[in-house]
Amino acid sequence: MTSDTPNPTGGLIGAVLSGRYQITGELGRGGMGVVYKSVDTLLRRNVAIKMLSPTLVDARAERRIEAEARTVARLEHPTIVPIHDMGRHHDMLYLVMPLVAGETLKTLISRGELRLGDILEIGVQGAQALGYSHRRGVVHRDIKPGNLLLTRLGGQVRLRILDFGLARRFDEEDLTRSTRVAGTLAYLSPEQVESGGKNAEGPSDLYALGAVLYECLAGLPPFQGSLFSTLYRIVHEAPKSLADHGLHLDAELEAIVLGCLAKDPADRPASGEELARRLARYRDQLAESEWARRTSQPVTATRRERVGRAPAEPLLGRDAELRQLEDRLARVLGNESGLALIAGDAGTGKSRLVQELVEQAKDRRFLVLQGRYSELETTFRYQALCELIEDYFRGGESSYGLRGAPELDDVAPDLLH
């Protein structure tokens, strides 16, 4: 492949950008594009190049990114990964950054490898960087475990924050399309949700950092679930106390973390510096035995919220209803589609009846998608069905995956649009 011709599959391995940056490998893919490992042939150093997808970043977004990239390039902070250069390759805008070693915080949380001292260091360093950037008018807008890179020096963690100032603003359409916000949803502040993403200022970054610290401690973000239930919880519900996750922490530390998650931005720490001071003060008083204490356990499917897993008790007095449902199931075996609705007062055994039908369907190797939904003012037609399909095909973030129905792989992209 020549330096002038893009690979038709979207890959750029071997290409030379602007006569200077030779792409040698792919580092990862994200919501805005692909990150490549590259060599700066002029300065003879390794760099990371973020190639922004032209299908996801329109002309207006590109102008904003270019303006913010110039601002971020002037930031000088050890925790902030800077921008060295930017350019264009054919119709694609790219950004050049240092190649930083380490693992994402998302990976470490999933493995349960964080100590309490590590978490406090992450909080202190992250809050200091946010305080520095906010004073200079730069808001990150997408603080999350996947954007936080960690290395260890002398047994202590060093934090580097990626994508500073480059996160795309969300609008009202984004907050009604789970394909756009799924990776960031758990870290959106209440004011971002209520304004369609327009109120992403400094307090929103502090909220997101608080959500990250909560997840580091508990192993799960403060709010989770389907798209609209999570949005509702972020705005209207208080997060569970860390004690509810089986953690026994000092009230002071819990107050710091939950204070970042306050619904009203005015009730959160006044600045990143204030949050850093409170976390550092707590860290400095920590006993050595507490510093090395493990908090959360590795996150597995059994720790996630599961639906329809209640222990099976005998089904009594519902023979007639069960026979009707079994008849419907038999018709499906004969390629006849149908719809069965089960209604009744609370406590009359509807869930147990459905559970019996589900077990029979699974015994016949049917693909079964399950969920529980509450009607909200923001729901749209067929939302429940759409979310069931999306949860199933998104695999890694749910307990389903594609292994159960490989014959549907070819239609997955269409079903997710």
Q: Could you give the residue numbers annotated as active site?
A: 142
Q: Decide: helix, strand or coil at residue 387.
A: helix
Going by DSSP bridges, is the β-strand pair 21-29/156-161 parallel, antiparallel, or unpaired?
unpaired
Going by DSSP bridges, is the β-strand pair 16-17/21-29 parallel, antiparallel, or unpaired?
antiparallel
Nearest residue to 220 (alpha-carbon basis) of 187, 194, 251: 187
Pair 285, 277: CB distance under 8 Å: no
Reduce the secondary structure of 272-311 to three states and give it as a string: HHHHHHHHHHHHHCCCHHHHCCECCCCCCHHHCCCCCCCC
Amino acid at 339: L
Q: Decide: helix, strand or coil at residue 16.
A: strand
- In the sheet with 148-153, reading across from the earlier edge strand, the strands are 103-104, 148-153, 156-161
Pair 83, 161: CB distance under 8 Å: no
- The percent helix, strand, coil of the chain (3-state, each to 5) is 40, 15, 45
Residues 6+ apart with CB under 8 A from 342: 321, 350, 353, 354
